[in-house]
Each structure stands twice: as C-alpha cells, then as structure tokens.
Chain A
Amino acid sequence: MEMPIPDQAVLDNKTKIVALLKEVLPPHAVIHHISETRAYECDALTAYRCPPMIAVLPETTQQVSDVLKICHAHNVPVVPRGSGTSLAGGALPTADSVVLGVAKLNDVLETDYKNRFVRVQSGRTNLSVTGAVQEQGFFYAPDPSSQLACAIAGNIGMNSGGAHCLKYGVTTNNLLGVTIVMMDGEVVEIGGPYMDANGLDLLGVICGSEGQLGVVTEATLRILHKPVSARPVLVAFDENEVAGACVAEIIRAGVLPVAIEFMDRLCIETSENFSDAGYPDANALLIIEVEGAEVEIEEQLEKIINIAQRHNPIEIRQSKSEEESAKIWLGRKSAFGAIGQISDYMCLDGTIPVSKLPYVLRRTAELSEEYGLRVGNVFHAGDGNMHPLILFDANKKGDLERCEAMGAEILRLCVEVGGCLTGEHGVGVEKRNLMFDQYSQEDIEAQLWVKDVFDPKWLLNAAKVFPLAATQTRRAR
C-alpha cells in the first residue's frame, strides 16, 4: 500500500514532540517506544501495517485540544483512532504520525429518556451505548457487526450502518450533535439535543468524513424504545435470482422488515459446518426479521410468507421460540468467522440498486470463474449493501494481488449499475484509488474543498479517502 513519504523534519523532531505531549498528558498516555507503538500499527485491515511515531490516549476533550495544538504547531500528521476495527484501513498510521486514540473517553455524560437522547464520549463502544439505556427499555439503533468493539467515534467517522438500518437508518440519521476538536485545537459544538442543527448541515458532512475534518470527542445520539419483540423467518431458494426477486416484491408490497439478509451456497455451507445452525441445503437463503407486538409480528410474517410462497421456496422456516430465532441468526452472524476458518478472505462493501441484485450476483460468479478465486455472498439485501467475500491464500504468491484486482472489478461493477464503492465500511486506504471510478474530477475537488476549510494544513488522516495523487499538492503545503 502506497503511503506518503514520512516527513523527515517531523521524525527528527520526535523527542521534542514527545516532551511537549507529556506536558499536557499524563505520562502513561504518551506512547513512543517502538515496542509499544506497534500496537497501533494497523486496524482490522491487517494486510497493511505501519507503526506510528507516537500514540496518545487523552482522557478529556481539553487534552485532545492540547494534543492537536501541539501537532498543528509542529506540522505533525494526526491519525484519529476509535477502537481500530476499520475494515478499510481508516486508522492506518503513517510513520511520521501521532495516532490519537479516544479509547479512554468512554463515559456516558447524560441520559435523557424524556427527550430520547444519550450524550456519550466518543470512545464508548457502540453496544455499550445501548447497554447504558437498556434498563429503561431503550436502545441505540445503528448496529455494525463489530458493535461489541467498535467506538462511536469510528461509527461517526465512517457513518456506520448495520443489519437493521433498513428500518432505523445509519449513524447520520441517529446523530443529533457532536463536540469536535478542530486540527488547530479549537473545540466546536455542532447540533445538540434538538432536531435539525442550525445553519449549514455541518453535522451531516462531519459524519462519514473518516476523521479528516476534526476529532469528535462527544456525541449526542438519538435513542429509541425497544420493540416489544422481534422474530426472523428463514426462506431458502434454489436460485440466487429468485431470492433477489422475492426481496424486491416484499419491499414493493409495503412491508418494511427491520432486516433482510442474504446468503449464498458457499456461505450457507461454510456457516453450517462452523456453527450447526441447521440451515437447509440450498443455493440461496434469506433471513427476514420483523418487529413488534405478537399480533404485529404475525401480520407482517403472514404477508412476507405469502410473497415468499409465490417464489417456489425450498423451505420456509418460521421461528417458534427465542432459541429458534437465535439459531436462525447464528449462521448469519458467524458467516464471516466461518469463512475466515477455511481461508483468507477480502470483504467488499459495495452497494447496488436492489433491482440489480440478480445481474450483479451473476456477474460476480463469472468474475469468480475468470480469476479462479471463490466468492461467498452474504449481505444486507433490503438496502442493496453487498458483502462479497473473495477467498484467497495469503501465502500464495500473487494471490492477494489477484484478489484485489478482482475486488476492484466487482466494485466497478457496483458503480456501473448505479451503486457505489462502499456502503458502510468507508473508503480508507483500501478503496481510495477507485474514487475516480465513481466521481469526476469536479466531484472530488468539491470534497477536497471541505477538507481545505476544516483542516487547511491537511494534517488530519490526510492519506485516506482520496487518491494520493489527487491530494499531493495540498498535503505538501
């Protein structure tokens, strides 16, 4: 992975910068020995690694501000980091950077059930936000697969989604306000515990900016009352395309399930071997989950099953108990891990219009043949967010490169049919070179203007999102 050449002047200045950081942070919060900085050398995109010059773990917004002031004054690149679960290399450091981890900022600052929001520090994990409000029957809706580990800071950086966003939306639809520290150390409040922030929608552009506009230290999040209960139904098919048509018809019928998940044969078989979920022998499988009180669940399932029956299903399995529900989800939830057991894999994240599902699945299978690499498909079918898993052998010379080339072709295919490169993982370093496949020079330039305004020195996570060549002159100034 090509990264900018480290700034020698910054590297030469390390001793001084460490000393300055220790003036504003507790000594243990400044990590600068190579034996320790290595812990920050990568995120969940582990194929690429580079230990940072320094890592810091501030405990307050003021400390974040102090750190950024120092880095700003000495032109030190800063890489913000939540929990390091990015699949796109969003938290991959450069050798001359300070990694600013928000892990110690993990308090709940305010819970307000009357107004249905919770204000948390951004290092708090996604699931523990729900943990803080569930006793009163509430939850925080966006639920990325990594929710046990991933931080709200990273969720905001990547505008994370999850399985249930068909109904509840993604992070940006559930974010009311932030405290953000600008690269020069200024602390700015945007939005708050009311609907629609005042003025231009800066909150909207900050969410999903991959840590390039500022460091978010606090967030006001919308919470909702939990549904009475939820229940999945599993429908198995002979053909991928029929499953795709079934999804389209369910959506068309005006039923809006909370989740529609799709798995193909490779994923079904692998998960089954791994988890014993009891999945049927089928080429395609849908897990459709609905929510509500008993009568509401039954009403929705009846409609869904009526539609499914028109598509020659091999099997329709309605959950009759909590255990059966858990079992239906078990295979889906262990799909990634199960594939990981049998092979190295690369997980893609393109989104396509739902109507193009059959075509894209067919083309993906053709590409799999062409490249001689197996592909498993498991994804959020309701919103067209695909997750093709390309299997490869990291120890085999050239396999990773072939896998990346094939991945790029699949993502271009997603764009070609009217979709996009990434639905919820973000661009990071992984997909930055494909940005011009989706956007024109003018489109990209408009995005770069935003960064110019928020971070004029281009110090914050600057090697991400855009092709390096497109940002070269800006990063060099």
Chain B
Amino acid sequence: MTPATVRELSDTIASANGPLRILGGGTRQALGECCLGAPLGTANLSGITLYEPEALTLVAQAGTPMAELQAVLRSENQQFAFEPMDHRQILGSGGNPTLGGVVACNVSGPRRLSAGACRDSLLGVSLVDGRGNIIKNGGRVMKNVTGYDLVKLMAGSYGTLGVLTELSFRVLPIPEASATLCLHQLSVGQASAVMARAIGSANEISGATYFDHTVHLRIEGLEASVAHRLGVLKDLFHEHEISVETAPDAHAEIWRGIRDVTPLCEKRGNIWRLHIKPSDAPEVMNRLSAAEIRYDSMLDWGGGLIWLCLSRDFDLRKSLEGIAGHASLIRGSGFAAVPPTSNAVARLSAGLRGKFDPRGILNAGILG
C-alpha cells in the first residue's frame, strides 16, 4: 500500500485490520526490534511544499528522498545542520533514505555536537495517527511555544505514534570554510581530555571524533574565523603530533566517513551505539579491555557517542552497569536492539502509544 494522498493514507489506516509496517525508503528497516505488518509506503507522499532560503525554512512531504532535498538545499548553499547519517553502508541496506525515516529515527550526525539533533532542527510535523486522524503540530517558524511540543515527541518515535506526512525544518547555510585538525597517536584517555578541552573552549568545535588513535576536530564558519580558530587550537595542542586538512573534497570525505561510521562497517560482529557522558568514554574502553574481548570503536560527539563493534555474544549493557546512558544494538543479534527504559518512562510511553494508536497497529513492537 502506498497511498497517494494524506486522505488516502488516513482511510488506509482507519480501515486496516492488522498491523502495518511503515516504509519510507527502506534503508533503516533493520533499526529497532523485529516488527511485522503489511507494508505501508510513503513513497507517493513526496515533494517540497515550501522552501524559503531567506527564512531558513524547508517544508517537505515525508516520502521525499533525502538526496533530492539535499540537492535543492545545496543549490541555495544551505543544508540540514544536524548532518543525518546514511545507514545504508552500516546496515548493508538498499533503497533511498527519505525525510520521514530521518525524523522517525531522529537521525543525527557528527554536527549534533554543536547544532543539535534532528529534533532540534524540526519545526513542525503533520501525521496520521493510528485511528486515521490527521494531526499537525508546531509550524514553520523557529520560535513557537503554542501548545504542547509534539514535534519533538514525533522525532525518534519510530512510527509508533503515527505516520509522518509532512515535516518542516530550520535549515542553515553551508559554512564558507572548514578545516579539520588531527591529533595523532593518542590513547583514549588522552583523546577524551583533548576533546573536552577543545569543545569546552570558545572555538565552536562542530565535530570531535576519535578512531585509529587519532582525534579529529572540525571547525567551520567564515574564512578568517576558521583560520583564526585553527591557529588557536594548534597553539593549544602544540605538544601533540598534529596535521591539518583544509582541502574541501578531502575534508568532506573525512566527515562523510565519520557520519556513516565507515571505520566499523566492514568489521564483523554486533554494532552498538552508546550514548554516555563524554568523560565516561575511557572507563567504557577500560571495561572492554578488561573483559579481554576484541573490539573496534569510534568515538563521536567528543566521546558522548561511541560506536562499537563487539563479538556477538558479548553483553555490552551488563558490562556498563553504573554508567549513565543507553546502548542500542544497531546491527547484529543476541540482545534487545532497543535499550530498556525506566518503569515510569515505559508506562508513560505506553500510555502515549495507547492514545495515538489504540489498536497498536503502527510499527507494533519496534520499540520493544
């Protein structure tokens, strides 16, 4: 089923007599728990509704391919600031990512550190809930506190509260210049300290990652500003082995790889995504080392996000006891994909799902 209009979508859902599996471009179907149902595609709800570059606003239907949106934004020298990752490589999936999928999974990339997550750029949503009601919330302006913020609630809800139909975003200019400062041969402890120091300075770091014993710090902005901050950072870390990348193509390539977790894609094992307090990163690594297992890792967001590739039988969650945060299994098996929540959060979430989808037919079970 791929309804051609929101009205048709509403009828389809209202008259459904069994579970539905929402399908955008199909590139992220492996995320979340196993979830079965008749495929309900959004491919025909596609196209840009409104784009006002001078107001930094883009409104598009949920089934619009990301590639199409990114091309249109690029032609106006703008972009989605939250740098959504493309999951195809790490999940080995085909298809074309859509805007709806990005929002449903609240997908953000390295620049989440400075620009916020997908939900922070999202200004408005339209959706069809589990009874077929057509609902909108938010709008197309940056400041809006009119009523409850269901916009944030929809971002990352994995389709369990409704099928997204239209989304409005705040977009931002593509920075005039950018540069990456690489600090080589660092232990995870040193890397963590270096990243904390850089991000905690006035230099507006827009990417901070660590893999292959190397910290990458990204700065973006106007040309003189980037040159200035690069100088400040070089001074700050003069005792380290440093290299700098400013060539636009090479630079873009580095961060595309980081965004899509390329360093781990070819590795065999379970792929985990871990959200923690950045300074806990070395402790996490210590525990993995102590467990004497083989692992590969990539730190992003200054250590606040850790991508791990671990052997399939290793219980990461158990090994992290006492560390605040949560771990999701992105690729692999043997454990729940979705991290458990506290009883209260689980009860409130179930309550909300019960209201928006009382029959429990939308992506049932995908969040556990």
List residues of A whose CB falls within 8 A of some B CB: 112-116, 137-138, 158-159, 161, 165-166, 169-170, 172-173, 182, 186, 188-190, 192-196, 198-205, 207-209, 225-228, 248-249, 251-256, 292-293, 295-296, 298-300, 303, 351-355, 380, 383-385, 418-427, 431, 435, 438-440, 442-447, 449-454, 465-466
Residue B291 CB within 8 A of the other chain: no
A-B contact pairs, 26 of them (CB 8 A): A114-B200, A115-B277, A170-B143, A188-B344, A194-B276, A195-B113, A195-B301, A196-B108, A199-B341, A201-B153, A204-B149, A204-B151, A226-B202, A251-B56, A254-B173, A292-B202, A299-B222, A420-B144, A427-B147, A435-B147, A438-B139, A442-B134, A443-B137, A452-B355, A453-B351, A466-B147
Beta-carbon nearest neighbor of B156 in chain A: A201
Q: What residues of B have a CB within 8 angstroms of the CB of A248 in the complex?
A: 54-55
The reply to whether B172 and A256 contact each other, CB–CB distance below 8 Å, is yes
Complex formed: what's the CA distance from A438 to B3 in Å? 27
What distance in Å separates the Cβ of A43 from its nearest Cβ neighbour in chain B?
A: 16
The reply to whether B106 and A352 contact each other, CB–CB distance below 8 Å, is no
What distance in Å separates the Cβ of A420 from its nearest Cβ neighbour in chain B?
A: 4
The reply to whether A200 and B349 contact each other, CB–CB distance below 8 Å, is yes
Beta-carbon nearest neighbor of B176 in chain A: A254
The reply to whether A205 and B139 contact each other, CB–CB distance below 8 Å, is no
Beta-carbon nearest neighbor of B50 in chain A: A418
The reply to whether A193 and B277 contact each other, CB–CB distance below 8 Å, is yes
Q: What residues of A have a CB within 8 angstroms of the CB of B298 in the complex?
A: none
Residue B62 CB within 8 A of the other chain: no
What distance in Å separates the Cβ of A355 from its nearest Cβ neighbour in chain B?
A: 5
The reply to whether B136 and A440 contact each other, CB–CB distance below 8 Å, is yes
Number of A-B contacts (CB under 8 A): 266
The reply to whether B348 and A453 contact each other, CB–CB distance below 8 Å, is yes
**How many B residues touch the partner, as a band?**
35 or more
The reply to whether B52 and A353 contact each other, CB–CB distance below 8 Å, is yes
Q: What residues of B have a CB within 8 angstroms of the CB of A113 in the complex?
A: 200
Beta-carbon nearest neighbor of B352 in chain A: A453
Residue B304 CB within 8 A of the other chain: yes
Taking A196-B117, A201-B155 as given, write out 8 further A-B residue pairs in contact, using a Cβ cutoff of 8 Å, ordered by the A residue number: A113-B200, A161-B145, A186-B344, A195-B275, A226-B202, A354-B52, A438-B146, A439-B136
Q: What residues of A have a CB within 8 angstroms of the CB of B325 in the complex?
A: 192, 194
What distance in Å separates the Cβ of B269 from its nearest Cβ neighbour in chain A?
A: 23
Which of these, A115, A170, A255, A453, contacts B222 with CB under 8 Å?
A: A255
Complex formed: what's the CA distance from A426 to B355 in Å? 25
Closest A-B pairs by Cβ, 5 of them:
A204-B152, A254-B173, A423-B143, A449-B355, A453-B351
The reply to whether A189 and B157 contact each other, CB–CB distance below 8 Å, is no
The reply to whether B149 and A195 contact each other, CB–CB distance below 8 Å, is no
What distance in Å separates the Cβ of A352 from its nearest Cβ neighbour in chain B?
A: 7
The reply to whether B145 and A424 contact each other, CB–CB distance below 8 Å, is yes
Which of these, A198, A384, A465, contacts B143 with CB under 8 Å?
A: A384
The answer to whether A195 and B145 touch (CB under 8 A), given A225-B200, A442-B135, is no
Beta-carbon nearest neighbor of B279 in chain A: A114
The reply to whether B141 and A172 contact each other, CB–CB distance below 8 Å, is no
Complex formed: what's the CA distance from A189 to B356 in Å? 23
The answer to whether A418 and B173 touch (CB under 8 A), given A186-B344, A198-B341, A439-B147, is no
The reply to whether A355 and B146 contact each other, CB–CB distance below 8 Å, is no
The reply to whether A190 and B146 contact each other, CB–CB distance below 8 Å, is no
Which of these, B57, B116, B137, B199, contacts A116 with CB under 8 Å?
A: B199
Complex formed: what's the CA distance from A165 to B153 in Å? 21
Beta-carbon nearest neighbor of B120 in chain A: A173
Complex formed: what's the CA distance from A248 to B175 in Å? 18
Beta-carbon nearest neighbor of A189 in chain B: B342
The reply to whether A115 and B278 contact each other, CB–CB distance below 8 Å, is yes
Q: What residues of B have a CB within 8 angstroms of the CB of A194 in the complex?
A: 275-277, 304, 324-326
CB neighbors of A among B158-189 (8 A): 160-161, 172-176
Complex formed: what's the CA distance from A188 to B344 in Å? 6
Beta-carbon nearest neighbor of B350 in chain A: A453
Which of these, B139, B160, B304, B345, contacts A202 with CB under 8 Å?
A: B345
What distance in Å separates the Cβ of B345 from its nearest Cβ neighbour in chain A?
A: 5
Interface readout for B126-140 with A: 1 if CB under 8 Å, 0 if not?
Answer: 000100011111011
Beta-carbon nearest neighbor of B326 in chain A: A198
Residue B112 CB within 8 A of the other chain: yes
The answer to whether A426 and B275 touch (CB under 8 A), given A228-B202, A295-B224, A453-B355, is no
Q: What residues of B have a CB within 8 angstroms of the CB of A449 in the complex?
A: 352, 355-356
The reply to whether B324 and A192 contact each other, CB–CB distance below 8 Å, is yes
The reply to whether A355 and B52 contact each other, CB–CB distance below 8 Å, is yes
Q: What residues of A have a CB within 8 angstroms of the CB of B304 in the complex?
A: 115, 194-195
Which of these, B141, B147, B173, B277, contacts A383 with CB under 8 Å?
A: B141
The reply to whether A296 and B147 contact each other, CB–CB distance below 8 Å, is no
Q: Which of A115, A169, A298 has the most CB of B within 10 A?
A: A115
Q: What residues of B have a CB within 8 angstroms of the CB of A442 in the complex?
A: 133-135
Q: What residues of B have a CB within 8 angstroms of the CB of A438 in the complex?
A: 139, 146-147
What distance in Å separates the Cβ of B273 from its nearest Cβ neighbour in chain A?
A: 10
Residue B286 CB within 8 A of the other chain: no
Q: What residues of B have a CB within 8 angstroms of the CB of A431 in the complex?
A: 146
Q: What residues of A have a CB within 8 angstroms of the CB of B137 in the complex?
A: 439, 443, 446-447
Complex formed: what's the CA distance from A423 to B305 in Å? 32
Complex formed: what's the CA distance from A296 to B54 in Å? 23
What distance in Å separates the Cβ of A254 from its nearest Cβ neighbour in chain B?
A: 3
Complex formed: what's the CA distance from A423 to B143 in Å? 5
Residue B26 CB within 8 A of the other chain: no
CB neighbors of A among B283-311 (8 A): 301, 304-305
The reply to whether B348 and A202 contact each other, CB–CB distance below 8 Å, is yes
Complex formed: what's the CA distance from A396 to B75 in Å? 56
Complex formed: what's the CA distance from A101 to B147 in Å? 22
The reply to whether B352 and A383 contact each other, CB–CB distance below 8 Å, is no
The reply to whether B145 and A208 contact each other, CB–CB distance below 8 Å, is yes
Interface readout for B34-76 with A: 1 if CB under 8 Å, 0 if not?
Answer: 0000000000000000001111110000000000000000000
The reply to whether B145 and A204 contact each other, CB–CB distance below 8 Å, is no
The reply to whether A353 and B140 contact each other, CB–CB distance below 8 Å, is yes
